[in-house]
Amino acid sequence: MGGLGLEISPFLIEPSCANGVGVMRLKETHIGSLLLVRSMGLKEEDGARVGLGRAMGVRFWKDIWCGNTPLCEAFPSLFDLAGSKDAWVADYWDPMGEVGGWTPLFLRPFNDWEVEEVERLLSSIQGKRLDADGEDRMLWRGTKNEIFTVKSLYKSLDHSCAVSFPGNIIWSPYVPSKVSFFAWEASWEKVLTQDQLKRRGWILANRCCLCCVEEETINHILVHCSKTKILWDLLLSLFGVNWVLPFSVRDTLSSWHVPFKDKNHRKAWRAAPLCLFWTIWKKRNRIVFDNEALSTQRLKNSFVCNLLSWANSSIVVGPLSLFNFVDWLGSC
């Protein structure tokens, strides 16, 4: 083992099995006992990984199948000594014995200072084995059962956001689907407000049609507009809650949690901001396209009646009158 090994023929690390334990030997010298575990090797790619069957299409050194990086990057010094840098995983798997073992090839014997690196390599692959009767298959890392779903893909694309996406409030069964889709667009700031139209090349004077003071953005018109704040004050007073509104639609929905004891009150509370968004947006469109005048009292009535309609259809048991509904909200 000592000194520089100048042997030209490929060097083979051979496992010998005794009582289920493979003892890895280098030139008849023990470098440690490694358990050969009956587990499956995995080739990992972007968001997915390949369950290794016969591993005919997975390269031992260059593909990601053991850990999060290719073995050529994790063990660069050993990769330089590899007998075949393009070898397949199947080339280095020996199915002989009870559980099989790994037999990577190198160009020369190892020096004393290289043995520790070899031990690390063997330790990293010892828990992987090939299923000679199986086929390679794709496994999705985004779910526990490793089966792909659109929902898990959506979460993986959105994982870097500082604020988690308020999907539980937006996709509520107590809210009409068209309202949920509108809230989803508003959360991503993709609704075609005047600032969005200007970005698309429209030439227009950007002004909020409700307050006629600020520029129209989705966060302004649904959260910060002075006319919209009238509805926010009404909503909070109906539930008897004090609240400070965040900057954006998304932040508002993400933080929209109050621990009401009654589950129906919780349902109504979660539906209320979406009802407010929808009421404001419908009023905005009537002002823009139908030249309808803004009436604060009608705006309030529209919001409360919409919320009452949603509550009677899917939240409360038995229809409530407007006065009973207001009393019921205040009782939470």
Domain layout of the chain by residue ranges: 11-139, 167-330
Select from 240, 207, 230 the least CA-distant residue to 299: 230
- CA pseudo-torsion sign 191, 195, 198, 204: positive
The per-residue pLDDT string of the chain (332 residues; one tens digit each, 9 = 90 and over) reads 333 332 322 333 333 222 233 333 333 222 222 222 222 334 444 444 545 544 457 788 888 777 778 889 989 999 998 988 888 888 888 877 777 788 888 898 888 888 898 888 888 887 777 766 666 667 787 788 878 888 888 877 766 555 578 888 999 999 999 999 999 999 999 999 999 999 888 888 899 999 999 999 999 999 999 999 999 999 999 998 888 899 999 999 999 988 888 888 889 999 999 999 999 999 999 999 999 999 999 999 999 999 999 999 888 777 788 888 888 888 76
The pLDDT, as a whole number, for residue 314 is: 82
Other C-beta atoms closer than 10 Å to the C-beta of 151 total 11
For residue 232, what are the β-bridge partners? none
Q: What is the largest CA-CA distance in the chain?
A: 94
Tokens of residue 224, six digits: 């910060």
Q: What is the pTM of this model?
A: 0.56
Q: What is the helix (H) or strand (E) element at residue 195, kind and residue range?
A: helix 194-199
Other C-beta atoms closer than 10 Å to the C-beta of 4 total 7
The letter for the amino acid at 188 is W
Per the CB < 8 A criterion, the answer to whether 39 and 128 are in contact is: yes
